[in-house]
Amino acid sequence: MCDICGCDSHEHVHEDGTRHRHPHHDHRVVELEERIVGKNDALAQRNRAWLAQHAILALNLMGAPGAGKTTLLERTIRERLAGRKIVVVEGDQATANDGERIRAAGAAAVQINTGAGCHLDAAMVARGLADLVPPAGAVVVIENVGNLVCPALFDLGERRRVVVFSATEGEDKPLKYPHMFRAAHLVLLNKIDLLPHLDFDVVRAGENARRVNPDVELLQVSARSGEGMRGWYDWLEREMRAIAGSR
């Protein structure tokens, strides 16, 4: 078939009388069999190998805008990680606000602005790591762009994916954004201090997360009041010990 006009041959007359005279071309089909995000995955593997080599625990912290990711990090740094080797890669479409908040809390941070981009990718994280040069044994937290869709598709080279899901968002979020919750190792159900003022059903929220991801760990926290943060810190300790032990 001629792909210029859709006709069956290159030699005929059209209904309006014009002669079909497109140049004749040969087409050659080339098998590519390549993953569309293959380049990102390869870069993510490179990040992962470098992090493992330096016994660095890397977390990809994700969640909707306003879920409380930065507040959670600020409290975690102040209460638990101050004085330890912690660096933060901050992803936002614009502004340096979150990077400044993290530095004020006591951690080194590099701010990456993705502009129109809706997620961090492995190349951005590689640049962030090159900037910060985290020491061996450090914890690297990558705070992704606030978004429940796109970040789930892009491996950054992290060891664990943590999703912050807040009580102000509605219990059905895991079903509406299943990729994000399926990708998570840990879901932090945040803002539980607000539960008395909301219709949010904590049990149902947890059930929905487990429907999408039966093996996901769930913890209830309030980054604002500090309630439940102990469980999150214990989880962090466990992950840090696992990394140190694997060295």
Partner 1 sequence: MHELGITRNVVAIVGEAAQGRRVHRVTLEIGKLSGVVAEAVRFCFELVAQGTPLEGARLEIREIDGRGRCGGCGSEFAMPELFTACACGARRTQLLAGEELNIKTMELEEAA
Residues found near partner 1 in the complex (CB under 8 A): 3, 23-40, 116-119, 121, 149-150, 152-154, 175, 178-179, 182, 210-212, 214-215
CA 210-212-214 angle, 5° bins: 40
Q: Report in angstroms the alpha-carbon separations of 116 from 93, 119, 143, 159.
A: 6, 9, 17, 27
Q: How near is the Cβ of 240 to partner 1 at its closest, in Å?
A: 28
Q: Give the full edge-to-edge strand order of the sheet including 217-220.
A: 108-113, 86-92, 139-143, 57-63, 160-166, 186-190, 217-220
In terms of CB distance, is 133 or 149 closer to partner 1?
149
74 versus 121: smaller Cβ distance to partner 1: 121
Q: 35 or 84, CB closer to partner 1?
A: 35
* Spatial distance between the Cα atoms of 112 and 168, rounded to a whole number of angstroms: 27
Nearest distance, CB of residue 94 and partner 1, angstroms? 16
- Min. distance of Cβ 115 from partner 1 in angstroms? 12
| Least Å from the CB of residue 37 to partner 1 | 6
The neighbour count for residue 117, using CB atoms within 10 Å, is: 15
Three-state DSSP at 53 gives helix
